[in-house]
Structure 1
Amino acid sequence: MYWTEFLTVALIHLLAVASPGPDFAVVVRESVTHGRRAGMFTAFGVGTAIFVHVGYSLLGIGIIVSQSIVLFNALKWLAAAYLLYIGIKALRAKPADPAAVAASLPVGERTARGAFTSGFVTNGLNPKATLFFLSLFTVVINPHTPLSIQAGYGVYLAVATGLWFCMVAMLFSHQRVRTGFARMGHWFDRTMGAVLVALGVKLAFTEMN
């Protein structure tokens, strides 16, 4: 009975998650810089943050945020500040020791908790994600759809997001890929830093529609 609605939700989500944004940039950077384990935990963080968006959408809190310029701007500036922070840190990356790169490709010091938090905060504070899930649960999904079914959609969205970014992490943490990026050394970090700063600035100027 709800398969048509579910397929619509799944298709819209696929188009949204496949579009490069802050989540993609953070997962790629963690995967290339710190290896597959860090990339996977970052992906888990992004996927887990989806439950936050689904939760407040089901509770109707998302509507309050969307109607309050103060709350929306607070969320927006927090997210922008975080992206600028990690972006500027990446821009300040120093050249790696050529001998070390030639000998081996170090994974780098990164805890599972740190990688998970990076993904969780990046997605959780993104006001565009707030508006996306709000529109999904108020426009696309019929308000008469049972809450249990809507919760099921939410579980799918979280799992699908996590799996998508796990695939991204696996791709960019592949030894050959990492070795190729390592040859560019600090320039990769600086490039990703510039991308994150640009996304942060763009987010800072996002207007609530």
Structure 2
Amino acid sequence: MFGTQDLALFVVSGLLLNIAPGPDSLLIMSRSAVHGWRSGSAAALGIGAGTLVHVLAAALGLSALLSTSATAFAVVKYVGAAYLVWVGFGMLRRRATAPGAGGGSGKVPALTHAQVFRQGFLTNVLNPKVAVFFLAFVPQFIAPDAEHKALAFIVLGCIFNFNGMLWCHFLAFATAYASRRVRPSQRVALWLNRLIGAVFVSFGLRLALGTRS
């Protein structure tokens, strides 16, 4: 169908790959835990939009440039790494808002859903390894005799992204639910935010210092 093959295996493999932890999952969990499922959903939708960019770029052959040109790969890699570090430092620097009239501890300042969406989008789209991943993974499930291989690539990419969105939104709801049950103090939430910021910095450094493999 549409020039694809082994579709069931592709779906199962895609789900397992989406479940693997990384910057995308961490962003969704952090936003859901601190600001609720809507914020986590906004991050997930931004990640999904970034994934669609990678799918279309790969189908059009743009991602092949990243896999063959060391300069292009390095430029995107360092931009993406810098963005992850910037997001991480932003979370590390974030301070609680002023205490309320009741004298309680301040809350972690919330970002708008549009800001969280943008974070999710840029975290995903500026990672060149995602583009290279699509070039390495998806073609294995395109039939050699497919008449329209680009169409088959887009179909598979959309299936992968749809499954990813199911997982990402489950992650957002589950994290928000667990956070409501545990009900951490605002001070704990603030330090959790900072801890995740430190992890984002480490992701950025690892991306910058890593190889193309």
CA deviation vs aligned residue, 1:172-194 (integer Å, no higher than 9, x gap):
22252572264513210111011
Could you tell me which residue of structure 1 aligns to residue 153 of structure 2?
Answer: 150
Gaps of 5+ in 2: none
**Could you tell me how far apart the structure 1 residues matched to 2:106 and 2:166 are?**
26
**Structure-1 residue corresponding to 2:163:** 160
**Which consecutive segments of 4 or more residues in structure 1 shift more than 6 A?**
96-107
2:169 partner amino acid: C
Letter in 2 for 1:193: G
Query: Residue 189 in 1 paired to residue 193 in 2?
Result: yes
CA RMSD of the aligned region, Å?
A: 2.8
AA aligned to 1:115 is: V
Deviation at residue 129 of structure 1 after TM alignment: 0.8
Residues 60/137 of structure 1: CA separation in 2 closer, same or farther (3 Å cut):
farther
- Per mean C-alpha deviation after superposition, the further-off stretch among 151-160 and 172-181 is 172-181
CA distance in 1, matches of 2:102, 2:153: 49
Residue 208 of structure 2 is aligned with which of 199, 204, 207?
Answer: 204
Q: Partner of 1:63 in structure 2?
A: 64
- Alpha-carbon distance in structure 1 between the residues aligned to 2:126 and 2:138: 18
Q: 8 Å contact 1:33–1:108 — kept in the other structure?
A: no
- The one-letter code matched in structure 1 to 2:92 is L
**Residue in 1 that maps onto 2:55:** 54
Figure out how many residues of one structure are paired with residues of the other and give that number: 209
SS of corresponding position for 2:6? helix
Measured in 1, the distance between the counterparts of 2:17 and 2:128 equals: 14
Give the conservation status (yes or no) of the 8 Å contact 1:32–1:178. no
Conserved? CA contact 2:55–2:153, under 8 Å: no
Q: What are the within-5 Å matches in structure 2 for residues 16-35 of structure 1? A: 16-35=17-36
Q: Is the Cα–Cα contact under 8 Å of residues 50 and 157 in structure 1 kept in the other structure? A: no
How far 1:123 sits from its partner (Å)?
Answer: 0.8
The one-letter code sitting in structure 2 at the alignment partner of 1:70 is T
